[in-house]
Structure 1
Amino acid sequence: MESKELLTLAAQACDEKRANDIVVLDMSEVSLIADYFLICEGSNERQVQAIARELKNQAEEHGIEVKRMEGFEQARWVLVDLNDIVCHIFHKDERHYYNLERLWGDADTVTVEGLDN
């Protein structure tokens, strides 16, 4: 599965669990870590865990290996590593504190709707 297809799958999984403010950063020109960062938030710990669980389940159903998932128990910042895509699922308070969008401000923002093309 190509990165953009996987990105669409990940964004849809997050959206199905009502993740708020889904943002995708194109990391290909600014970092070797991943092609994309998907950043979203949940309003409480349960929702953060539900988003992470859905993302993991959807990836595995499509034969995508989840390389690593960290922070699930605390549910303040869950990182899901899908190799070319790193998903950051924040509790709303933590997202504003860490502000990855500003930290990686050199990365272009990708609209999720435009990925279906």
Structure 2
Amino acid sequence: MESKQLVDLVAKACDDKRAEDIVILDMNEVSLIAEYFLICEGTNERQVQAIAREVKDVADQQEINVKRMEGFDQARWILVDLGGVVCHIFHRDERNYYNLEKLWGDAPQLEVKL
């Protein structure tokens, strides 16, 4: 599966668990870390964990290897590394503090297709 298809699939998985303010950054010209960053937020720790679980489950169903998942226990910022796509799931209180959209402001934002 290409990274563009994967980021759209991950966006839908996040939306299915009612993630808010979903943003996709095209990192191709900006970073070697990944092709896309997907950033979203949940309103509480339980929702943040549910979003991360859904992303992992969808990846597993598509036989996509989750390279790494960090921050699950604290559920303040969970990072799900899918290779070409890195999904950042924030607790609402943490998202504004880290402000990845501003940090990676050179990266174009893509339309989220749900």
With structure 1 as the length reference, what TM-score do the two structures score?
Answer: 0.96
CA distance in structure 2 between the partners assigned to 1:67 and 1:105 by the alignment? 26
Shift of the alpha carbon at 1:100? 0.2
Deviations along 1:96-116, one digit per CA (max 9) or x if unpaired, are 000000000000000112xx8
CA distance in structure 2 between the partners assigned to 1:102 and 1:8 by the alignment? 22
**What do you get for the CA RMSD once the two structures are aligned?**
0.8
Question: Is structure 2 residue 93 aligned with structure 1 residue 93?
Answer: yes
CA distance in structure 1 between the partners assigned to 2:43 and 2:2 by the alignment? 31
Gaps of 5+ in 2: none
Identical residues among aligned pairs (%) = 71
| Number of the residue aligned with 1:63 | 63
CA distance in structure 2 between the partners assigned to 1:4 and 1:30 by the alignment? 16
| SS of equivalent to 2:93 | helix
Gaps of 5+ in 1: none
Deviations along 1:45-69, one digit per CA (max 9) or x if unpaired, are 0000000000000000001000000
| Number of the residue aligned with 2:76 | 76
Count of aligned positions = 114
With structure 2 as the length reference, what TM-score do the two structures score?
Answer: 0.98
